Structure 1
Amino acid sequence: MRHTKRLLTALLASTVVAGCDGAGETDMAPAAAVRADKVQSWVSLRLNTYHSFGVTTPNYTNRVLRHYESLARTDVIGASEADASFRVVPGLADASCYSLQSKNYPDRYLRHSASRIRIDPRDNTRLFDEDATWCTRPGLSGQGVSLESFNLPGRYMRHVNAEVWLAQKGGSLPSDTATSFEADASWNAVTQANSDFKAWADETLNKIEQDFRKPGSNLYYENTDRQGTAFHWPAGVQLHALIAGGRIAQAEAFANEMHTAYWCNTKSRWGYNASAYSCGDRYFDDNAWVAKGLMELFLKTNNATYLNRAKETLAFSMSGENTAGGSIRWREGDTSGTCLCATAPTTVANLMLYRATGTQQYLNDGLRLYNWVKANQFGYGPGYRGYENAVMTQAALLLFKITGNYTYLDDARHLGFAMETTYIDWQTHALKETGQWGGHDMTNAYVDLYEVTGDINWLNIATGYLQFVRDNGKDANGRYPETWSDVGKAGAPGLLYQASAARAFARMSNTRGGTPKKRDPVAVFKDCNYTGTWGGGLWIGRYTLADMKFRGIPGKDISSVRVQPGYKVTFYENDNFTGASLVKTADDGCLVGAGWNDRVNSLVVEAVSPTVVIHNDCNFTSPGINLPVGSYNEENLRALGFSPDVISSIQVADGYEAVLYDGGYFDQTSLTTGTNSCLVGAGWNDKAASLIVRKK
């Protein structure tokens, strides 16, 4: 390897010298003369997002493309993230191709010069722009993407002995060697979705500072008219946004001035008032939300001041509990009534304080409130809001962490699915809810679900509606609408709505990011014409009435169905797949005509001609996905909603086989298998991180 490296270095030096007074490879005719054909990229990359490019060559898939001292090279994963991150932008020489902009040196781009790949500052010459433009092609090895030079067609970005070169298979340079050329010139392009969310969060937080920040103060105005100080609820959401956005010093300054402006004593009790610099209008829900924020701030800073304030704030919210116990009223002075919007965050604040202090009373109070809400069926559906269910999801996850009781984890998963069915548009991914009454709290819940279960599907759900509101909701002034499914409307002028978007983006930026969900094979809807107050997608699987309800789909309530090509659904009139049945292999906008309106009590979703179906439970009992012939690395699986290392059973059609790999990119140990109802026996349960489906 050292000998080869010396040869390449010597060649680089001689090529550079020749380029001074001779015809080097970058001294060729302009691109118009080189490429008379219409160039374009054949593999789409998402613009204005950061990508990493992983090596696909077997035994080297733990390496990624990066820059070091201006030269491109590959290093093992774990190298400087910024060095290995490149923003995909329209090609500097041709917008139908791409250029790759360095993350930590944004004035520099990946380009070729004297056959070596490097990063250099743009010098505004046509030659540089052509050298820094890459046209994507399907991976030469059959996987990933290959990056073809714009002005030297037929030459590709290729790694050799950890260095990265512009190479042509069978050419005259050592880097042109035909050995493993296709694999070396194929890259696994992975979108760093969290970088999008970080940029969006920072952009929104900066816009809030511009539109709402009070001069000479850490407080904010209520609206863009800059007339009055924000009410306590939007101030609390902004506190959460600052914390999630990593602006901890600013969050502390804000929390401290909030305490001065809103904290007051009346009726022999301390609590936060709804408006600043006054007292007598206090809400149990507003205080509970801020108690949660203070606990987040305590966990970030370990400053006991915020812990003590959270205790005092929670005490105020608990003073609103009804005499019968288990529910919190809305407003101080109310003598009756129950408010889920106050009970849910008060439950979570109790559980957060229990985990921080170990004080049993907090757990007792949290459990009592939780059980009351659960007895009232969590309140999802018409008349209830997404944020109420989202916060109860967080409560269930906290109880699972505290007790280890999987009933609470099932509660959280049930709510996660039911929220998707109730509030998220199956086709567009739009969130049919407002930001303040769903957006940021549902994002908190889905991120928490992912962090506890490792199921990428939860991040994919949140990514879908966040990307929708970013792409369709943001107005010309950089503001977001109140309702996140609105398209083309002016952004809402209140702090509450903008802080909600900022918190959601910032919360997602602290994860690995996701991919908007692919359309499920089958989706069912409450009303005809694919409408109604709920509509839910389903993977391959068998769904009893209990399974349907677990996903927020009631029995005897389906009126229309969408079926993707290659799939079918069998409806049953009774539970457990009994009674009269109806098979659908295509969309039906109204089941009235078939005599099946509001009649379904169980159903089965299948592929018409399955190849390989993978499941994350043994005996094919969990919903699964069908994989046609092809290669599926860990990122491909995540994009399909299937996390690596969770496959427990696999169904393989006759004439096919699956090759499972322990590594995420077809590396490490492997197992070639047919149908296996439980991979535990083969020592492969929850082990496969990538796989290949092929004919025998």
Structure 2
Amino acid sequence: MKKLNYFSLSVVVLLFLGCGSDKEEEEVTPTKPVEAASFTAADVDTAYDAFNTHFYNPEAKLYYSTTAKTGLGAIWTQAIYWDIAMDAYNRTKEASQLTMVNDMYQGGFQEYDGYNWNNTREWFIYDDMMWWIISLARAHGITGNQVYLDKSKEGFENVWSRSYDPVNGGMFWNFAKDGKNACINYPTVIAAMELYNITKDEQYLDKAKNIYAWSRANLFSNGRIADNINVARGNVGWSDYTYNQGTAIGAAVMLYKATGTESYLNDAKMAADYTRQKMSDAKGILPAEGDWNEQGVLKAIFGRYIMMLIKDAGQTQYLPWIQDNIALAWKNRDKTRDLTFRDYRVPAPAGTIQSYEASSVVGMMQVTPPTK
């Protein structure tokens, strides 16, 4: 029953979500910051605790899809929630949080056939796999557990051998190989760089440069990241999604840090500027992605990588923008449950909501300095 429900949800999402649509987004240029709002270190703790109270399943060691707690969230979003748990540990250094990081590995192991990358029922698109491969590498960096690194390396080689196009370049996003999407190409660069930073094996750096160059030539236009290329029709889908902008930023920053090549940093700043100036509203508020689907998690991914640009590359000019988004969303939280919502501009609903749409602000909070 678990697989039937998940598959049905995923089919709907894959038809609607970023990996596939060609619809253009309306472009809006911001004019001024949002009204004064703030969030504190205590608020960060409160938001994370509330998210876990209403969504974490301690038996499955993974997250429910909604506050109704009737089923687990989609496979790829669990990797994003694991990233948030790791960020919470990096922020707090609490032993209990490290335990949760290790528990979530075990939860994924139990739920997804021991991370068997050849199981084409559990894994049916390559980007689902790559999100976990990134998280496994990060988990090794935090815990030192060799098993996590081995699983990440095995997964990377598996996806590379099946998804990479040696003739025309780039990574296919699904097993049918009918599209090359941002959601697999830029995360492949990030995964390769995570593994390179751990192992110093030059093959990972070479692969990261290879896929980044293809993505730059085919999916990048003055900071705007195309969602996909339809291989059969040959057309580019210029839909705007925050996670694509975020992974492009993260990939560029990681390559910049490793090589010192200024063009990577310039690309990251262009992608950040496009997100702020064209995708955000007139007050700089990020778009409300995720109308009852997995898109609600996208801004959690964007938040992680824009903060990498701010912290790791010293581009602090973007920090007030991100803090303003968090502060407004926190101000509009459901104050009874302390749950935030995907649309930061409106009060969070009091009824059943998804972990997807409640996750992005929580994720951003773990990596963003409080305003107070």
Contact 2:50 2:337 in 1 (8 A): no
* More strand, by proportion: 1
Deviation at 1:486, TM superposition (A): 4.0
Match of 2:361 in 1: 501
Is residue 2:225 matched to residue 1:380? yes
Is residue 2:193 matched to residue 1:351? yes
2:301 aligns to what SS in structure 1? helix
1:430 aligns to what SS in structure 2? coil
Contact 2:225 2:248 in 1 (8 A): no
Match of 1:201 in 2: 44
Structure 2 gaps of 5+ residues are 1-35, 90-96, 227-237, 290-294
Q: Which of 270, 281, 292 is residue 117 of structure 2 equivalent to?
A: 270
Residue identity in the other structure for 2:117? W
2:179 aligns to what SS in structure 1? coil
Task: Give the distance between the partners of 2:124 and 2:199, measured in 1 at CA.
Answer: 27
Task: Give the distance between the partners of 2:179 and 2:266, measured in 1 at CA.
Answer: 29
Q: Which of 218, 227, 238 is residue 81 of structure 2 equivalent to?
A: 238
Is residue 2:254 matched to residue 1:406? no
Match of 2:158 in 1: 316
Distance 1:314 1:492, change over 3 A: farther
Distance 1:311 1:468, change over 3 A: same
Match of 1:456 in 2: 316
Match of 1:466 in 2: 326
Q: Which of 415, 432, 439 is residue 271 of structure 2 equivalent to?
A: 415
Match of 2:68 in 1: 225
Higher CA-based Rg: 1
Match of 2:304 in 1: 444
Distance 1:315 1:418, change over 3 A: same
Deviation at 1:488, TM superposition (A): 5.4
Indicate the percent of aligned positions where both proteins have the same amino acid. Answer: 19
Distance 1:212 1:437, change over 3 A: closer
Distance 1:444 1:213, change over 3 A: closer
1:282 aligns to what SS in structure 2? coil
Quote the RMSD (CA, aligned, Å).
Answer: 2.7
Distance 1:221 1:253, change over 3 A: same
1:114-153 aligned within 5 A: none
Task: Give the distance between the partners of 1:224 and 1:499, measured in 2 at CA.
Answer: 12
Contact 1:480 1:491 in 2 (8 A): no
Residue identity in the other structure for 1:398? M
Distance 1:324 1:263, change over 3 A: farther
Distance 1:271 1:478, change over 3 A: farther
User: For residues 572-596 of structure 1, what are the alpha-carbon distances to aligned partners after superposition, in whole Å with 9 as ceiling and x for unaligned?
Assistant: xxxxxxxxxxxxxxxxxxxxxxxxx
Task: Normalising by structure 2, report the TM-score.
Answer: 0.75
Match of 2:172 in 1: 329
Distance 1:395 1:215, change over 3 A: closer
Distance 1:313 1:417, change over 3 A: same
Contact 1:474 1:491 in 2 (8 A): no
Deviation at 1:419, TM superposition (A): 1.4
Residues matched between the structures, number: 310
Task: Give the distance between the partners of 1:483 and 1:284, measured in 2 at CA.
Answer: 29
Distance 1:259 1:488, change over 3 A: closer
Task: Give the distance between the partners of 1:492 and 1:402, measured in 2 at CA.
Answer: 44
Contact 1:450 1:459 in 2 (8 A): yes
Residue identity in the other structure for 1:459? L
Match of 2:103 in 1: 253
User: For residues 230-269 of structure 1, what are the alpha-carbon distances to aligned partners after superposition, in whole Å with 9 as ceiling and x for unaligned?
Assistant: 321221121011111112220111112212221368xxx7
Residue identity in the other structure for 1:449? L
Distance 1:437 1:208, change over 3 A: closer
Residue identity in the other structure for 2:54? D
Q: Which of 282, 285, 296 is residue 430 of structure 1 equivalent to?
A: 285
Deviation at 1:311, TM superposition (A): 1.0
User: For residues 641-696 of structure 1, what are the alpha-carbon distances to aligned partners after superposition, in whole Å with 9 as ceiling and x for unaligned?
Assistant: xxxxxxxxxxxxxxxxxxxxxxxxxxxxxxxxxxxxxxxxxxxxxxxxxxxxxxxx
Structure 1 gaps of 5+ residues are 1-45, 50-192, 274-278, 516-696
Deviation at 1:426, TM superposition (A): 3.4
Contact 1:271 1:282 in 2 (8 A): no
Deviation at 1:367, TM superposition (A): 1.2
1:239 aligns to what SS in structure 2? helix
Contact 2:190 2:250 in 1 (8 A): yes
Distance 1:375 1:206, change over 3 A: same
1:291 aligns to what SS in structure 2? helix
RCO comparison, higher one (Cα < 8 Å, 6+): 2
Task: Normalising by structure 1, report the TM-score.
Answer: 0.41
Deviation at 1:413, TM superposition (A): 1.4
Task: Give the distance between the partners of 2:302 and 2:74, measured in 1 at CA.
Answer: 22
Match of 1:483 in 2: 343
Task: Give the distance between the partners of 1:366 and 1:451, measured in 2 at CA.
Answer: 21
Match of 1:296 in 2: 138
Contact 1:328 1:339 in 2 (8 A): yes
* More helix, by proportion: 2
Task: Give the distance between the partners of 2:168 and 2:357, measured in 1 at CA.
Answer: 33
Deviation at 1:495, TM superposition (A): 2.2
Residue identity in the other structure for 1:384? D
Distance 1:412 1:493, change over 3 A: same
Contact 1:387 1:439 in 2 (8 A): yes
2:117 aligns to what SS in structure 1? strand
Distance 1:491 1:202, change over 3 A: farther
Deviation at 1:370, TM superposition (A): 0.6
Contact 1:473 1:491 in 2 (8 A): no
1:245 aligns to what SS in structure 2? helix
Contact 1:294 1:309 in 2 (8 A): yes
Residue identity in the other structure for 1:420? R
Match of 2:230 in 1: none
Deviation at 1:462, TM superposition (A): 0.7
Deviation at 1:497, TM superposition (A): 2.5
Contact 1:288 1:346 in 2 (8 A): yes
Task: Give the distance between the partners of 1:355 and 1:377, measured in 2 at CA.
Answer: 25
Distance 1:341 1:493, change over 3 A: same
